[in-house]
Structure 1
Amino acid sequence: MKATDIPLYSLRDWFPDAEKFAVTTLSSGAAGARPAAPHRNDFYSILWITDGDIKVTLDTVPYTAQAHTILFIAPGRVAEFHGHAHGWWIAFEEQFYCVRDEAANRSRGINSLLFFNPDFATVLSPDGTDETTLSGIIAMMEDECQKKGDHYVDAFVNLLQLFLIRVSRIMEREERAGEHATAGPFLQFRHLIEQHYKDKKNVSDYARLLNMTPVCLNALSKSLSGQTAGEQIRGHVILEAKRLLHNTDLSAKEIAYRLGFEDAPYFSRFFKKYTSQTLLEFRDQSRLNTV
């Protein structure tokens, strides 16, 4: 059957009784039934692998989440899973706890780059002491979800914040966030690209939304990512194209239309210019790499 789209799942597709958050073991319930096929979730996921390993493909890039690692996946990422592992799955919606607000996160001791970074993926490796602490926090999360006592929502949000503070410290210890410490406006820019890449493809469009000049936006982007703002915009369009090429059987014309291009041949030339591959070459090679 021809694949024409990437499925999008909500929290309640996995956890029918959940409100805006959930925690469970990876091998139980809906978590154990997670599809291998490419899909998106509209909520945040934290996967802590305690035993075994999972082959994960995020936006066509393969990762191996091994034992004693924690993987952070933001909403909208195209994920594909293979393998079996034991561990924990924490899931929560944007409305429950927002991690896009860099200024708020700094005041809370949380690093937004856990979920939002140039690669859109973060894998951390806690040591034994970290794991003991984090295990205790997750055990309390699970207890609150199961018993639903008085003020359990407040209890869970505070436990989630504590968990994120602890893993932010691990991230900083692993020296993954040092050069991006002032990345708030840049993260906002990346978020705007995610929202508007189909209809806004010029730097001036985003500069206007951020109340800065195109020159300033280019300088900010270059200093924090090594790429100009225009390269960031084109890069996200190409990423979306790669997602659709890898995960669906849509034609070049259909993909061009979904990405806001009225001229399919122009889109094909655009893709070739910035990837050095034709659409068909990328589709064949990316699928071969993940076999």
Structure 2
Amino acid sequence: MNIKIPQYDIDFTKEGQDHFFLYCKDLKEPSRPASTSPHRHNYYCLSFLYEGQVPDFVDVTYDLIHAPAILILNVEQIHIHTDLKDCKIVSMAFSPEFLYGQDKKLRLHTETVFTQTSLKLSDGNMDDLDQYIKLIIQNYKMPDKDPEVIKCLLDILLIKCAKLIENSDLKDAGNKDVFKDFQKLLKKHYRDNHQVKFYADALNITPAVLTQTVKKAGCNTPKEMIDQRLLIEAKRLLYWSDVTVKEVAWELGFETDSYFNRFFKKFTGKTPQAFRIEML
């Protein structure tokens, strides 16, 4: 497959950043040049938007994010850097290695945060997070900064962000651990397993229990989550690459390209080829 999406990696060690990089921009400061080229990164990124608004283009979705909010980028997620003029923002980039050593509970919090692309905050939420953001900035700017201190503060931020997401998206959820485990399995196996029974068996529960758990978590059904995961990846490949429709179908585990065509048209009203032409 000839994917045309470049990946811009940071060699954190070479840059002397200890796997963590911080960018702060005040309202009146000039911003870095915007990049209109789609690309991926080898690191996570959290951007805390205090004032103003920012165009957010992630995967094939565009949104205009208004402060206060968090912009969230997972490792290797396709995006475009947009103009940050007329806004106050603090961005933190950190490698997966920077989070090395997290216990299971902390890893689950991290995974919860990076299932999102943005999160709207209240002024109170931002004030709460700002306490830790300021401490990170303060420690980062020290000549003898200690990465362990920054990591501990980042862990607190991730926990607080995860709690905000859980409170907004998983109210009255049943078994949150089962739901999160399903999300993890789906991320790993969506290409080769499209059936709900596979995920239920892997979780040692029945499909009915999995469906009930997913619905309590505020979603529709496991099957709809599987289909939506396949659909967004199909759109990514069709939009950002020049692979054929048949190759996309093969990459996503469809038995035939005609089956993939029917699947795609069911959810979009267009064939994959028509979608690609329309997006050009």
Gaps of 5+ in 1: none
One of 151, 172, 183 as aligned partner of 1:190: 183
2:120 alignment partner in structure 1:
124
- Contact 1:15–1:22 under 8 Å retained in 2: no
SS at match of 2:150: helix
Task: Give the equivalent residue in structure 1 for 2:155.
Answer: 161
Q: Amino acid of the residue matched to residue 213 of structure 1?
A: T
- 3-state SS of paired residue (1:47): strand
- Per-residue CA deviation, residues 156-203 of structure 1 (Å, 9 max, x unaligned), is 122113333454566578x45424474322122122111122222222
CA distance in structure 2 between the partners assigned to 1:274 and 1:191 by the alignment: 24
TM-score by length of 1: 0.76
Per-residue deviation, 1:260: 2.6
Flag the 1:95–1:219 CA change in 2: closer, same or farther, 3 A: farther
* Residue identity opposite 2:155 in structure 1: Q
Matched with 2:234 is 241
Give the gaps of 5 or more residues in structure 2.
none
Cα deviation per residue 1:26-53 (whole Å; 9 max; x = unaligned)? 59xxx93663322233432111223443
Kept after mapping to 2: 8 A contact 1:11/1:91: no
SS, match of residue 96 in structure 1: helix
**Does structure 1 conserve the Cα–Cα contact (< 8 Å) formed by 2:34 and 2:82?**
no
CA–CA separation in structure 1 for the residues paired with 2:245 and 2:252: 11
Q: Assess, with a 3 A threshold, how the Cα gap between structure 1 residues 253 and 58 changes in structure 2: closer, same or farther.
A: same
- The Cα shift of 1:145 comes to 3.2
Structure 1 Cα separation of the partners of residues 140 and 217 of structure 2: 39
Counting only pairs closer than 5 Å after superposition, residues 139-150 of structure 1 correspond to structure 2 as: 139-147=134-142, 149=144
Native 8 Å contact 1:54 1:81 kept in 2: no
Q: Is the 8 A contact 1:49 1:70 kept in 2?
A: yes
Distance 1:171 1:199 in 2: 29
Change (3 A) 1:168 1:196: closer
Q: Is the 8 A contact 1:115 1:122 kept in 2?
A: no
Structure 2 CA distance for partners of 1:231 and 1:131, relative to 1, 3 Å: closer
Q: CA deviation at 1:65?
A: 2.3
Match among 240, 244, 247 for residue 254 of structure 1: 247
Counterpart for residue 84 of structure 2 = 84
Q: Which amino acid aligns with 2:99?
A: Y
Q: How does 1:211-226 map to 2 (within 5 A)?
A: 211-226=204-219
Matching residue of 1:69:
69
Please give the alpha-carbon distance, in whole angstroms, between the structure 1 residues aligned to 2:21 and 2:197.
40
1:207 aligned counterpart, secondary structure: helix
User: Distance between the aligned counterparts of 1:182 and 1:111, measured in 2?
Assistant: 18
- Give RMSD over aligned pairs: 3.5
Partners of 1:212 and 1:249 lie apart in 2 by: 40
Decide whether aligned partners of structure 1 residues 188 and 172 sit closer, same or farther in structure 2, where only a CA change above 3 A counts.
closer
TM-score by structure 2 length? 0.78
> Aligned pair in 2 of structure 1 residues 66, 163: CA closer, same or farther (>3 Å)?
same
Which residue, out of 79, 95, 99, partners 1:97?
99
Identity %: 26
1:209 corresponds in structure 2 to 202
Change beyond 3 A, Cα 1:265–1:176: closer
